[in-house]
Amino acid sequence: MIATLLLFMGFSLTQIGVMTLILLGVFVALIGVFFSVCLAFLAMSRRVTAVFGFIDEEPRFPVAVYRVGDDEVPNLFPCEMIMRNKLYVPDKELKLLYCKPRKSVIDANALTTIIAGSAIFIPAGVFCIFMIVRFFGNLNGM
């Protein structure tokens, strides 16, 4: 729909394609920044023993809540929906990472997501930024 509007405004298909690729590159770079921040949270975390409490359905996405000592601490990422019964066993003691500045924990699912996402999206984000800068540099050189 947006492409159709842009065509009516006088943009060519090539221009629309380039704008789409630039927009996708910016999104990939932003996801890379997100995972960089998650790595920083990971670096600031310390290992704790926690017990799964419940799944909080109130936020926009359901979040697993763990008991760390006397505190109820939410997970950094939303809970898994597919294997919820197998992953979140009530009163099961777990080793988690507690991120004090964020006041949240990082469970095994969140840790896997951070590691895999960082390995994929940080290099991809750097590449996209490099290519966008190179594209605009070539435009100025013309």
pLDDT in tens, 8-27: 999 899 899 999 999 999 99
pLDDT class for 141, splitting at 50, 70, 90? low
Please tell me whether residues 8 and 24 are part of one structural domain: yes
142 found inside a domain = no
pLDDT tens digit string along 97-117?
A: 999 888 999 999 899 999 999
Beta bridge partners of 55: 64
* pTM, 2 dp: 0.84
**Rounded to an integer, what distance in angstroms lies between the CA atom of residue 82 and that of residue 110?**
15
140 found inside a domain = no
Q: 88 with 64: CB under 8 angstroms?
A: yes
pLDDT at 105: 95
Position 134 pLDDT exceeds 70: yes
Counting Cα atoms < 13 Å in the Cβ hemisphere of 66 gives 29
Please tell me whether residues 126 and 99 are part of one structural domain: no
- For residue 119, give the DSSP letter: H
Q: What range does the domain containing 7 cover?
A: 2-41+122-132
138 found inside a domain = no
